[in-house]
Amino acid sequence: MKKLLFSQRSDRAHWVGDGFPVRSIFSYSGMTKEVSPFLLMDYAGPAEFPANASPQRRGVGEHPHRGFETVTIVYSGEVEHRDSSGGGGVIGPGDIQWMTAASGLVHEERHGKEFSKTGGRFEMVQLWVNLPAKDKMSKPRYQGIRNADVPKVDFPDGGGSLRVIAGEFAGQKGPAKTFTPLHLWDVRLNSGHTAELKMPTGHTTMVFVLSGQVRLASGETIGDAEIAVLSRDEEDFTLQATSDAKILILGGEPINEPVVGYGPFVMNSSAEIQQAFMDFNSGKMGTISGIEGSQV
């Protein structure tokens, strides 16, 4: 049975642009090996936004990325994405945006037009997922994954459900295309029920509780906005809900390569970071001006 290595949470929120009040749950800075192949997790919300009559929508304006992927999971609200490769779309509750920056692009993220008009509850998770060196300069791509396209597995006896965004569970394969072996599961576990789960030996395994509380097999409890990093030995782990819980489970094969990051770029060396800035400043990562990204 996998053991708890450590857990952590953040109660300190900061704004990303003017549309995303986030708590940074983890970052590769100082714990690259422990969280690989993941680099960062931001948890936005839950927050209430008022209706906005202005045509100027909240969010983050144009900014570049290179060397990794961003994965945005919307629980409430609406996010619209556009990028310089022509990718983009609007994602709502249950939808996922999987953007591969790779060799580099410029993108923006804003509240969707309808959500901006009506306002309401906003909640999302954004992950940064590393790419191996051989793929860091590959062509950018965009995957807009609808809720209806994500397979769901029901737990026995009304225990809840698990949506397979990436990887596999109980014979169901997630729709996300990944560069390295990854598992990303969106879980609802009802109070008093236990989920028996497996992650391949040697893979990173993390359990993030958005809301509610779960108990690990070894007795530790994980609560609201807290992440547990489990050991890589063994395959099995269990989660027992002591209250209705909303959970995101992250798993993946570690990428055992140097990680050098600065701002919006994550590469393998300082020279590659310097090159990324030169390429961005010279316009090689493009612009989104005039590009209307295709809808999800």
Quick: pLDDT tens for 162-177.
Answer: 999 999 999 999 999 9
8 Å CB contact between 182 and 167: yes
Quick: pLDDT tens for 64-101.
Answer: 999 999 999 999 999 999 999 999 999 999 999 999 99
DSSP code of 276?
A: H
Report d(CA 228, CA 205) in Å as an integer. Answer: 8
For residues 125 and 53, the model is more confident at 125
User: What band does 294 get if pLDDT is binned at 50, 70 and 90?
Assistant: very low
Stretch among 48-57, 146-155, 247-256 having the lowest mean pLDDT: 48-57
**Radius of gyration of the chain, Cα coordinates, nearest whole angstrom:** 19
Residue 273 CB contacts under 8 Å (≥ 6 apart), including other chains:
260, 261, 262, 265, 267
Quick: pLDDT tens for 270-285.
Answer: 999 999 999 999 999 9
Give the type of residue at 89: G
Report d(CA 57, CA 257) in Å as an integer. Answer: 39
Q: Which domains occur in the chain, in start order?
A: 4-252 (2.60.120.10)
Region class of 123: left (phi > 0), else alpha (psi between -120 and 50), else beta: beta
